Amino acid sequence: MVRRVAGNGIGWIGVLFRSVEGESTMRTLRLAGVTALCVMVLSGCEVSRSYKGYSDEVDSWSYPKRFAITWKDWGLSLLDIVSLEIGAQESIGIVIQPTKILQTGFLFNDVMKLGWRNRGFGFYHEVQSEGGFGWAYYRSRRFEPILGTPTLFDQNLRTPLFAGFPIRNNFQEGHWADIGGEVGLVFLDVSAHVSPKHAMGFCVNTLMLPMNLLLRYPLNWIGVRFPELDFCDENTTSQIKYKYDLTLIPYPTSFAPAEVLNELWEVPY
């Protein structure tokens, strides 16, 4: 009888300790949950402040300003589909580019050019030597703008110096899917490219015209914000997002398969 009571007493004590330990664990888990929730809320508030700054600036546009910006972005996205350059001085070679993956040829030039590329138009001096095939196509180029639109002098759009494999640069040296070529005939140099990516971006901007010109303002009045769609990340609203650091998914400026291949082969840039 005594043993049974003693055993029961020890059992109750064990249950009590386990209960206390369980409550302590639950308390710890609750505290961790509350802490995690606070972190999420605070980080969300920070993002919300940035987004509020962005939305306030965009919403402050009058309808005439929104109208002008919409058509400006639409027109530039149309012009982005094709790039054309013509130059004179010294040039020899031929480059064929059925996408950068299959690019082949060689070219050596030192020319004065007039052209439209990467939303920049004007006169510029270009010295380049390049050649190879596909993934192993190498380019060394120096670019000096002389006279033209402000975008011609924007180094983010076209770097003054480039030395490397063009397929690894998916922005300043053109998109990997671009199709075109360049020919150097001693004293004349001609280059032309078509961008399927920008063609898709133009289609998206065209589909968004009714929303941007007719429906966006009525929806904003009733508290509904339709997202700004920009396939190529180049429209005015995208630039404002950069200003407020709202690029949660950065636009890819390199070609991922080429980067993986470079890591495997350790090819110097």
Reported as a single tens digit per residue, the pLDDT across 29-54 is 555 555 554 444 444 444 466 677 77
Q: What percent of the chain has pLDDT over 90?
A: 43
Q: Give the per-residue pLDDT at 126.
A: 95
In a domain, 210, yes or no: yes
The pLDDT tens digits of the residues spanning 140-166 come to 999 999 999 998 998 777 888 899 888
> Given pLDDT bands bounded at 50, 70 and 90, which one contains residue 259?
low
In a domain, 29, yes or no: no
In a domain, 15, yes or no: no
In a domain, 28, yes or no: no
Q: Give the per-residue pLDDT at 79.
A: 94
> Given pLDDT bands bounded at 50, 70 and 90, which one contains residue 208?
very high
Average pLDDT (84-102) is 95
Tell whether 101 and 178 lie within a shared domain. Answer: yes
Q: Does residue 248 have a pLDDT over 90?
A: no
Q: Does residue 4 have a pLDDT over 70?
A: no
Residue 47 tokens read as 């993002």
**Chain centroid to CA 164: how far?**
20
Tell whether 154 and 58 lie within a shared domain. Answer: no
Q: Which of 1-10, 97-106, 146-155, 176-185 is the least confident region?
A: 1-10
Say how many domains are in the chain: 2
Range of the domain at 237: 48-75+200-265
Tell whether 61 and 138 lie within a shared domain. Answer: no
- In terms of pLDDT, which residue wins out, 249 or 85? 85
Tell whether 91 and 142 lie within a shared domain. Answer: yes
Tell whether 216 and 255 lie within a shared domain. Answer: yes
Tell whether 112 and 180 lie within a shared domain. Answer: yes
**Chain centroid to CA 109: how far?**
31
3 state DSSP class of 122: strand
Which of 194, 227, 252 is the C-terminal boundary of a domain? 194
DSSP 65-116: HHHHHHHHHHHHHHHTTEEEEEEEEEEEEEEEEESGGG-EEEEEEEEEEEEE
Tell whether 94 and 186 lie within a shared domain. Answer: yes
Tell whether 127 and 219 lie within a shared domain. Answer: no
Q: Taking the CA atoms of the chain, what radius of gyration do you get in angstroms?
A: 30
Which of 160, 194, 228 is the C-terminal boundary of a domain? 194
Q: Which amino acid is at 150?
A: P
In a domain, 67, yes or no: yes
Q: How far apart are CA 108 and CA 88, in angstroms?
A: 13
Tell whether 143 and 177 lie within a shared domain. Answer: yes
Torsion of CA 114, 117, 118, 122, to 10 degrees: 20
Which of 164, 194, 224 is the C-terminal boundary of a domain? 194
The pLDDT tens digits of the residues spanning 186-198 come to 999 999 999 999 9
